């Protein structure tokens, strides 16, 4: 299969279903940068280490680099996503079902943004394509259990490791810097938070960018009559395209979500914001290296909760936490059902 820029785009432009798939995927990447990436800079903005405009510009740049660099170095997350579902045996409508899944993800993400709730596009993506695959195959044969179990690992990893590392790193920072003058400490951690926000933005691009590259690869494979992307190399033009789109989406920002994650859930000092960013970045790096798709929102939020619990558990605003957990719980069945229904409707129409 020729995946060069010229050959791939010639095929995309000559195949309406593939063109719609590519445009919808780019739309989801844009929405992800717009609604999900703000979580990466929520803490450095809430502690006033950076002005929101400067933080959004920085996040856009490092999201771009994260998608590009990490995909070149280690693309296992992209492969996990593209091989998670089974569209085999239905080459005539497989792309239509994939389009339906992407449409469901956009609906879910925009609705969550409208209500200012930091949902997870990662969970929505997994749920949407799984629902569409089940609709296409008429049962759970549309799911690749070996790859899907990594989602469960990701939920555990992002929750337990996110909270635990946030708690431990914050404790360690408090011990190491306990003798530093408060004024000097604030100055030091203001700079450290900028580094932490950049690291979080980079890892957001690395995790979420790969997931959508995996979907693009799956679309092209389905258009060529294949059913999986095993052993295929990711083309550089695709990495660059996804990097640019995510960077542009991030530059628009999402101030409502920054407020919900960084300000409403728990009030953070600068050293706490740095600890949360470092903890979440390390969790995302570990997950990416092992090809485990995790929610960047989920990971960052649990890290902030762990940091807040160091001071006292009551410092965490559990009303906000409850809203977020409810959204996460609803995303899998909710977006999965929308993906299922949209796939059924699209297949009937087209």
Q: Would you kindly state where each structural domain of the chain is located, as residue ranges?
A: 5-349
Let me know how long the chain is: 350
DSSP β-bridge partners for residue 85: 143
299: closest CA among 313, 274, 278, 320? 278
Q: Does the pLDDT of residue 263 top 70, yes or no?
A: no
Residue pLDDT, tens place only, 165-183 = 999 999 999 999 888 888 8
pTM for the whole thing? 0.86
pLDDT digits (tens, 9 = 90+) for 36-45: 767 778 778 8
Q: Is 92 helix (H, G, I), strand (E, B) or coil?
A: coil
Q: Which residues pair with 143 in a beta bridge?
A: 85
- Among residues 266, 275, 259, the alpha carbon closest in space to that of 313 is found at 266
CA angle 146, 37, 201 (to 5 degrees): 90
- In which band, very low, low, confident or very high, does the pLDDT at 97 lie, cut at 50, 70 and 90? very high
Q: What is the mean pLDDT of the chain?
A: 85
> Does 253 have pLDDT greater than 80?
no
86 and 137 in contact (C-beta within 8 Å)? yes
């Amino acid at each position: 299969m020729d995946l060069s820029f010229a050959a791939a785009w010639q095929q995309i432009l000559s195949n309406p279903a593939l063109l719609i798939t590519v445009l919808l995927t780019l739309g989801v990447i844009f929405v992800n940068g717009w609604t999900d990436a703000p979580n990466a800079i929520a803490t450095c903005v809430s502690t006033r280490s950076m002005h929101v405009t400067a933080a959004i510009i920085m996040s856009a740049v490092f999201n771009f680099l994260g998608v590009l660099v990490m995909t070149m170095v280690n693309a296992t997350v992209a492969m996990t996503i593209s091989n998670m579902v089974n569209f085999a045996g239905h080459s005539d409508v497989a792309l239509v079902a994939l389009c339906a899944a992407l449409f469901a993800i956009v609906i879910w993400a925009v609705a969550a943004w409208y209500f200012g709730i930091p949902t997870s596009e990662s969970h929505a993506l997994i749920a949407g394509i799984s629902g569409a695959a089940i609709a296409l195959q008429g049962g759970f044969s549309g799911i690749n259990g070996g790859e899907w179990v990594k989602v469960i690992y990701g939920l555990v990893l992002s929750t337990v490791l996110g909270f635990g590392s946030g708690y431990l790193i914050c404790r360690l920072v408090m011990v190491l810097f306990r003798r530093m003058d408060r004024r000097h400490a604030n100055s030091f951690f203001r700079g450290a938070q900028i580094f932490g926000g950049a690291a979080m933005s980079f890892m957001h691009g690395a995790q979420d960018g790969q997931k959508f590259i995996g979907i693009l690869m799956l679309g092209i494979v389905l258009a060529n009559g294949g059913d999986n992307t095993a052993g295929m190399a990711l083309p550089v033009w695709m990495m660059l395209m996804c990097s640019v789109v995510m960077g542009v989406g991030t530059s628009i920002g999402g101030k409502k979500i920054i407020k919900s994650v960084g300000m409403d859930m728990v009030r953070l000092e600068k050293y706490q914001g740095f600890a949360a960013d470092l903890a979440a970045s390390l969790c995302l790096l570990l997950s990416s290296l092992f090809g485990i798709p995790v929610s960047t929102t989920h990971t960052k939020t649990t890290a902030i909760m762990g940091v807040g619990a160091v001071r006292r558990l009551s410092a965490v605003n559990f009303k906000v936490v409850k809203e977020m957990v409810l959204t996460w719980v609803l995303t899998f069945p909710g977006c999965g059902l929308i993906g299922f229904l949209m796939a059924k409707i699209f297949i009937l129409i087209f």
